[in-house]
Amino acid sequence: MPQLFASLPLTRYRRHAAALAGLPVGLELLIDHEALAPGFAAERAAIAALLRAEGRPCRFHAPFRDLCPGGQDPEAVSLARRRLEAALDLAPAFGVTAMTAHPAWDPDGCGTAEERAGWLARSVDFWSALGERAAARGVRIDLENIFDRDPGALAALLAALPPERFGWLLDLGHWHAYSQASLADWLAALGPRLASLHLHDNGGRADDHLALGAGSLPRREAWAALAGWGRRCDWILENRSAEDLAGSIRHLAAESGIEEFTLLGAALQSPSPKPPRS
């Protein structure tokens, strides 16, 4: 059965908890460097206890800023490893069984066949080792398309990683803004590895993270293409306000063809809760 999630940095949970209380969705919690800071440890534990007591499903988004898992500099790769390992070590406390991660493929920085082969070899080494740690904690890692112009690099990476430990997260907003390949081409290459979706809208040129319906994402085409895959996925809304989140849910309810989302949309016919002022 598909599960709906909303994305939120862990460090901002308290600020938005009241608004989220009225939305029956799980949370994808970004574990960034601030969330991993020693000074945030007590608050991390307190939030984990609250979410577990509430019974709200959670998954993680791994740290990604300034990190380069497939990089050439061993020190940079070491930092990425330490950050992602630290995030994985928090998973049991939150009941997390899936974590989104960025493979950091840079199509402009890997222009030659030699550069692409080097990135792939280094990435396979990095993710294979991290997959061992993830498996020991009961976590699947979903690798996300970011600036990818086509599915080639991500398909090659996932082909070298075990499917029981690694899935594909299809970010529809990134696909719309950056990919030159059709959604059909992506699903043909990676459909069997599809495990989760990031949903947000944009004008086709930048990663704006708008509410669904506020940009030019070809939503009906996307829902039709996903008809054979979507029921087994986590659907994760990456919006920046409670109003945008509720609006995106309503679009899913009206258009996706997924019965569970239709019922959820019906429950949101009353005005959506407003986020607390920061």
pLDDT at 269 (0 to 100): 63
Q: Grade residue 215 by pLDDT with cuts at 50, 70 and 90.
A: very high
Domain annotation covers residue 232: yes
Return d(Cα 218, Cα 195) in angstroms, integer.
21
Pick from 75, 61, 70, 71: nearest CA to 32 = 61
pLDDT at 275 (0 to 100): 42
Domain carrying residue 225: 3-266
Residue bearing the bigger pLDDT, 101 or 21: 101
Q: Grade residue 278 by pLDDT with cuts at 50, 70 and 90.
A: very low
Angle at 82 (CA atoms; ends 77, 88), nearest 5 degrees:
125
- For residue 235, the cross-strand partners are 4, 197
Return d(Cα 146, Cα 130) in angstroms, integer.
20
* pLDDT for 271 beyond 60: no
**Burial, 256: exposed, middle or buried (Cβ in 10 Å; 0-12, 13-18, 19+)?**
buried
Instruction: Say which residue the tokens 């996903």 belong to.
Output: 226
The amino acid that residue 187 corresponds to is L
pTM assigned to the model: 0.94
Residue bearing the bigger pLDDT, 240 or 277: 240
Give the pLDDT confidence of 174-210 residue by residue, as tens digits.
Answer: 999 999 999 999 999 999 999 999 999 999 999 999 9
Instruction: Say which residue the tokens 């939503």 belong to.
Output: 219
Domain annotation covers residue 274: no
Give the pLDDT confidence of 20-70 residue by residue, as tens digits.
Answer: 887 889 999 999 999 999 999 999 999 999 999 999 999 999 999 999 999
* pLDDT for 273 beyond 60: no
Pick from 274, 275, 197, 213: nearest CA to 249 = 213
Domain annotation covers residue 33: yes
Domain annotation covers residue 10: yes
Structure-derived torsion over alpha carbons of residues 180, 70, 5, 212, reported in degrees to the nearest 10: -20
Pick from 53, 13, 51: nearest CA to 31 = 13
Q: Grade residue 267 by pLDDT with cuts at 50, 70 and 90.
A: low
Domain annotation covers residue 31: yes
Domain annotation covers residue 171: yes
* pLDDT for 266 beyond 90: no
Pick from 1, 25, 9, 12: nearest CA to 250 = 25
Number of domains in the chain: 1
Give the pLDDT confidence of 86-100 residue by residue, as tens digits.
Answer: 999 999 999 999 999
Give the pLDDT confidence of 127-163 residue by residue, as tens digits.
Answer: 999 999 999 999 999 999 999 999 999 999 999 999 9
Residue bearing the bigger pLDDT, 265 or 9: 9
User: Is the CA virtual torsion 26, 32, 36, 39 positive or negative?
Assistant: negative
Tokens of 87: 């995030």
**Burial, 12: exposed, middle or buried (Cβ in 10 Å; 0-12, 13-18, 19+)?**
middle
CATH of the domain at 97: 3.20.20.150
Angle at 251 (CA atoms; ends 250, 257), nearest 5 degrees:
105
Domain annotation covers residue 275: no
pLDDT at 214 (0 to 100): 97
DSSP state of 37: S
Domain annotation covers residue 277: no
